[in-house]
Structure 1
Amino acid sequence: MLADIDTWVLDLDNTLYPAGSALAVQLTDGILSTIAEYYGTDVPGARRIQSELVAEYGTSLRGAMLTGTIDPHEFLGFERRMDYSVIGPDPALAGVLEELPGRRYVYTNGSAYHAEQVLTRLGLTEHIDGVFDILAGELIPKPYAESLDAFLARFGVDPARSAMFDDLEVNLALPHERGMTTVWVTAGTPYEQLAERRWRAADLPSFLRANV
């Protein structure tokens, strides 16, 4: 069903590893603690500020930069303190990625450092041809057009021959408009087709094995 696809665009967090995992919890806690310290508030206050920043600017980092003076590297410093050993190899995902025809990229609103740590722990590094992170996008995140255009240009991606996987449905709207096949990775049935070139999948390896 995806026989025409030769470029695979993969989100990182909550897509290549499960939402709610110990690493996802650390990531959320790290962002909230950074916001709390920067804005001088407690965790509930930080959670409210984060929601407002994400709603208005796409990511907490971009919002903090546009409304304040925080340095992006300082904001992302919590990643260096995370314990990545809480996730381990995913042989099933590695095997199916290895079999995919064409190129495979990670497109993330996180940093390249974070992506490298995650891919190494999951055993996926050798199956990924490139990483496009928030710094490569000049701090403009998904779902903004500037970010998508920069990603497509960087790797010479033809939207009509690519498939994008993301846990946030909002990040898939513009790629689908541009002609990409999109797969919303979320809880539910193993996988189902929502519309032409639009899918939802709870089990990424199963979806890829069944539809490639």
Structure 2
Amino acid sequence: MTKNPDPLNFAHVTDWVFDLDNTLYPHHSNLFSQIDVKMTGYVANLLQLSHTDARQLQKQFYKDYGTTLKGLMDRYNIDPDDFLQKVHDIDYSWLVPDPALAMAIKHLPGRKFIFTNGDRGHAERAARQLGVLDEFDDIFDIVAAELMPKPARQAYDRFLDLHGIDAKSSAMFEDLARNLVEPKALGMKTVLIVPHNFEPTFSEIWERDPDYTDHVDYVTDDLASFLNAIQPGQVRTGMPA
């Protein structure tokens, strides 16, 4: 893991871009597992499949289309609003507020954005529960992306254009290496967030993407500490002065 990155490598960054699920909140919170279960149930109900078959198809959609939603839209012409509402009907109390992360984000110089394949409501609820929502300038969700998810290049282009961002002056934080391919090609600094004390066996086989690791500049299992380490000047503890 990259524990102590050189702050000079981020001195040019004016726009900071964060994925939401398993990035801003930690993998061990298991919040996304609730969404995952909801998606499997949605596929099962829609297509009258067993849980096992529905989950296999769901993960195939994820692999082939970037998101289960995109696969269902292309193959079955589902209503995306119905899908997003149902899969994000979850319990956000699982998330523990993270004041250290909020302080680390607050002190980053420049603008901060959430860029998620989920919808705005989900991002707002999760970020609010974490205590970081007020630190962000805006949220770019799957609706703003015109339902084209990461890792498609169109999603990144639309995000950058909408907010007037120069990719070469920005950094992106993601938990999926394949979602950093286009940001790296565009000139962004890329940081992969992995579970604490990460081992490859922690990931399900269809969610591992070792072929994309060449597009990752840094890897960390502690986002707040990483952000503190790249702050200009004195490294902050993450607590208010």
Structure 1 gap segments, 5+ residues each: none
**Alpha-carbon distance between aligned partners in 2 of 1:68 and 1:139, rounded to the nearest angstrom:** 15
Displacement of 1:189 after TM fit? 6.5
- Bigger CA drift: 28-37 or 165-174? 28-37
The aligned runs of 1:95-174 (5 Å cut-off) are 95-174=103-182
Q: Which residue of 1 aligns with 2:45?
A: 37
Q: Which residue of 2 aligns with 1:207?
A: 226
Q: Which residue of 1 aligns with 2:71?
A: 63
Q: Which residue of 2 aligns with 1:92?
A: 100
- One-letter code of the match for 2:218? W
Tell me the secondary structure at the aligned position of residue 184 of structure 1: strand
Displacement of 1:88 after TM fit? 2.8
Q: 1 or 2 for the larger relative contact order (CA 8 Å, sep ≥6)?
A: 2
C-alpha distance 189-163 of structure 1, shift in aligned 2 (>3 A) = farther
Tell me the secondary structure at the aligned position of residue 177 of structure 1: helix
Displacement of 1:139 after TM fit? 0.5
Displacement of 1:130 after TM fit? 0.3
C-alpha distance 102-70 of structure 1, shift in aligned 2 (>3 A) = same
**Alpha-carbon distance between aligned partners in 1 of 2:128 and 2:122, rounded to the nearest angstrom:** 10
Contact 1:180 1:197 in 2 (8 A): no
Contact 2:177 2:215 in 1 (8 A): no
Tell me the secondary structure at the aligned position of residue 109 of structure 1: coil
RMSD value, Cα: 1.8
Contact 2:180 2:215 in 1 (8 A): no
Tell me the secondary structure at the aligned position of residue 81 of structure 1: coil
- One-letter code of the match for 2:224? P
Structure-2-length-normalised TM-score? 0.82
The structure where strand makes up a greater share of residues is 1
- One-letter code of the match for 2:34? Q
C-alpha distance 42-17 of structure 1, shift in aligned 2 (>3 A) = same
Structure 2 gap segments, 5+ residues each: 1-6, 199-212, 232-241
Displacement of 1:20 after TM fit? 3.7
**Alpha-carbon distance between aligned partners in 2 of 1:19 and 1:55, rounded to the nearest angstrom:** 20
Displacement of 1:87 after TM fit? 1.1
Q: Which residue of 1 aligns with 2:81?
A: 73
Tell me the secondary structure at the aligned position of residue 114 of structure 2: strand
